[in-house]
Amino acid sequence: MATATMEPKTAVMANETEIANAIGVLRHAGLADDLLDEIELDRRLAISLEQANNGTLRPTKEIVNEILGELKRGYYNK
């Protein structure tokens, strides 16, 4: 008796140009930027969740202090 095996899922990656072209073909070219923004936000959320699950996040206070220090030194005025 043969047993069914599950095929591993593979990620299909598309670049911004391919996504914009696909949306244009669907005649929704005006939504391309919104979709690309949504994809980027989803990607960043996935990274953040993975970091949180791994315990690799930095404390908020540490990040705020770092940014305030950079502001005082004029880092963002360049």
Any domain includes 7: no
Please report, rounded to a whole number, the percentage of residues in the chain having pLDDT higher than 90: 5
Any domain includes 50: yes
Residue 78's pLDDT band, with cuts at 50, 70 and 90, is: low
Q: What does the pLDDT look like over 36-49, one tens digit per residue? A: 788 888 888 888 88
Residue 53: phi and psi, rounded to 5, are -65, -30
**What range defines the domain where residue 68 resides?**
18-77
d(Cα 69, Cα 15) in Å, to the nearest integer?
A: 36
- Whole-number Cα distances in Å, 2 to 7, 16, 39: 15, 42, 40
Any domain includes 62: yes
Angle 29-32-34 from CA coordinates, rounded to 5°: 135
Any domain includes 51: yes
Mean pLDDT of the chain: 77
Any domain includes 1: no
Q: How many domains does the chain have?
A: 1
pTM (2 d.p.) = 0.44
Structure tokens belonging to residue 35: 């979709």
